[in-house]
Amino acid sequence: MKKWYAVIGDPISHSLSPFMHESWFDEYDIDAAYLPIHVEPSQLEKSFEAMKTLGISGFNITLPHKQSIVPLLGKLEESAMQMNAVNTVNFDGTHYLGSNTDGDGFVRSMLAHSVGKASKVLLIGAGGAARGIACALKRAGFTDVTITNRTFRRAEELAAETGGTAVTLIESEERLAEFGVLIQTTSVGLATGEALPISLERVKAGTLVADIIYNPLETPFLKKAEEKNCITLNGVGMFVYQGAIAFEKWTGIQPNTEKMIQLITEKLGGTYVND
């Protein structure tokens, strides 16, 4: 019987997940399909029941369902419990098992740039994405993580939960040269104009500066980092690696991530450069 998978969200037409997973199914000669399904919030439970009835083997979840899907699932992995949010579901034959591959996906993309685990990391933001990355950094063995956020209280709360340190935005700008890695997780890069979450005036050359946004490929934050002779990393790697972890859970196969990063970059109008 042919297996099928999906991504659910509202909206969903913009998702590149179907392109990614269908490409991997073709590459590894797997007889499966992957569909984008538009699910409005009020229809989430009914849609999930319908997918189960139709024998779905696994699916991804994007906004706004990552938290509201949690009580509908039979079991959660540690990553999902820490986040209280799910982006990947796998049917193990008995239960629909929820996990969250976002944070681990980012860390894998970062480690592909030969970042040492002794690096001092500055995490900008304290929302859901920052939480996932902070937890994943801790699981991966990074012990020196500093969190900054516009609302300092939220940075303090996330730092307390993940064993990090919290600083104000002003303090983070003053101490910027101390950090070997900067990770931008806020929505500032999606806005028009040249707004930056923090000033990069004191960043040291050679710092790895990451922005988890992948469309646009180069945010104002990354443009400024390039001007300061930093190494830059956009969100394409995070997107591909989080999908690769899901794909591996479903099929047992570790897919070709480098080739997919190239394909997604080119699909978004960029030029792929293999560092």
**Of 3, 46, 66, 117, which one is the catalytic site residue?**
66
Count Cβ neighbours within 10 Å for each residue of 7-20 and write b for 16 or more, e otherwise.
bbbbebeebbbbeb
138 in catalytic set: no
Residue 28 known to bind ligand? no
**Sole residue written with tokens 């070709």:** 256
Radius of gyration of the chain measured on its C-alpha atoms = 19
Q: How far apart are CA 256 and CA 254, in angstroms?
A: 7
Residue 254 marked in a binding site:
no
Tell me: is residue 16 an annotated ligand-binding position: yes
27 is in an annotated binding site: no
CB atoms inside a 10 Å sphere around CB 140: 15
Tokens of 214: 């992948």
Determine whether the annotation assigns residue 242 to a binding site: yes
Ligand-binding annotation for 125, yes or no, is: yes
Residue 154 annotated as part of some ligand binding site? yes
102 has binding-site annotation:
yes
Q: Does residue 141 have a known ligand-binding role? A: no
Binding site annotation covers 96?
no
Name the 3-class secondary structure at 188. helix
- Does the annotation flag 132 for ligand binding? no
Residue pair 163/144 in contact by the 8 Å Cβ criterion: no
Tokens, residue 128: 């859901």
Q: Find out whether 153 is annotated in a ligand binding site.
A: yes
Helix (H) or strand (E) holding 231: strand 231-233
**Sheet holding 181-184: strands in order across?**
165-167, 145-148, 121-124, 181-184, 208-211, 231-233
Distance of CA 131 to the CA centre of its chain: 11
Q: Is 214 annotated as a binding residue?
A: yes
In the block, residue with structure tokens 């890069």: 189
Q: Please report where in the chains the tokens 């969100």 appear, as a residue.
A: 235
Is residue 87 within 8 A of residue 100, CB to CB? The reply is yes
Instruction: Find out whether 157 is annotated in a ligand binding site.
Output: no
Binding site members for shikimate: 15-17, 62, 87, 102, 214, 242
- Active centre residues (catalytic): 66
Binding site members: 15-17, 62, 78, 87, 102, 125-129, 149-154, 212, 214, 235, 242
Binding site members for NADP(+): 78, 125-129, 149-154, 212, 235
